[in-house]
Amino acid sequence: MPATDPNQIAHILTEALPYIQRYSGKTIVIKYGGNAMTDEDLKRSFARDVVLLKQVGINPVIVHGGGPQIGSLLEKIGKKSHFIEGMRVTDSETMDVVQMVLGGLVNKQIVSDINLAGGRAIGLTGKDGKLILAKKLELKSKAQEQQPSEIIDLGHVGTVNKINAGIVRLLESEKYIPVIAPVGVGDDGASYNINADLVAGEMAATLGAERLLLLTNTPGVLDKQGELLTGLSKEDIQRLTDDGTIQGGMLPKIQCALDAVAAGTQSACIIDGRVPHAVLLELLTDEGMGTLLKQ
């Protein structure tokens, strides 16, 4: 490796100091998914970054997805995935696969990566200690001419009813890093598959997190020329949505981020998980990265 200027190293370290002081003792909720969770080099760098944050007194809470892994296993057992408005229709058999993949394979791999990097991670699903109380998601079809909207049954797809923050606070106080799979439990004990972005946003709001970071496979919110937009307010988002700049899968990410900010999270940021050390670059440098959402 080429020699690095010692002054440059010192500058990088001192630049991070005020941010470390700002976030010390605070909770940062990170939604982990996309390429960052499948590329081996990115997985290792993410784990090291999370351990570094914990080491300097910041409390990272990880909420992860696993859609591609679920789809891959379903394909192996000969079951075709079916989506409605971007959400996976989840019958009982599919729910079993979701729990195996999210709560088992993916969750424990993230825990292992963090522990190998020198951290102390504990993996949970929303069913553990009733961490995530859920209810069935009611999706309404769009009303047609002379026909009212109808309820679409997505099976075991849920939304967050309540989050038991005490479990996460207990783990934080004992210097553990919580790694949470987005599987919730209903009042009747039924399991529900919940969108990981939604869980991350609700988790940030409930914990009063300082920041919510959503790792995606894009640089952030882009304008119609493909340029990155940042420092967006709720009014900016509404304008960009109305003119079609923001659409598709970015809409639910932005909505959960705005909801978290409205509920007390200081700020939320959509960042590119394909960039090595994206979390550190956003939190501990002057330039940051991605799209910052604010009130």
Contact 293, 232 (CB under 8 A): yes
Domain that holds residue 264: 21-79+111-126+168-184+194-293
Amino acid 145: pLDDT: 56
State yes or no: pLDDT of 144 exceeds 80.
no
Evaluate whether residue 96 is within a structural domain. no
User: How do beta strands 267-272 and 291-293 pair?
Assistant: antiparallel
The rounded distance, in Å, linking the Cα atoms of 88 and 95 is 10
Amino acid 252: pLDDT: 80
Contact 192, 134 (CB under 8 A): yes
Evaluate whether residue 60 is within a structural domain. yes
The two structure tokens encoding residue 190: 């039924």
Evaluate whether residue 161 is within a structural domain. no
Evaluate whether residue 73 is within a structural domain. yes
pTM attached to this predicted model: 0.91
Q: Tell me the range of 79-83, 146-150, 177-181 where mean pLDDT is highest.
A: 177-181
Evaluate whether residue 216 is within a structural domain. yes
Evaluate whether residue 153 is within a structural domain. no
**What average pLDDT does the segment 26-54 reach?**
92
Q: Which of 139-148, 241-250, 270-279 has the lowest mean pLDDT?
A: 139-148
Domain total in the chain: 1
Evaluate whether residue 175 is within a structural domain. yes
The rounded distance, in Å, linking the Cα atoms of 246 and 237 is 8
Q: Tell me the range of 11-25, 110-124, 264-278 where mean pLDDT is highest.
A: 110-124
Evaluate whether residue 273 is within a structural domain. yes
Question: Can you give the CATH number for the domain in which 45 is found?
Answer: 3.40.1160.10
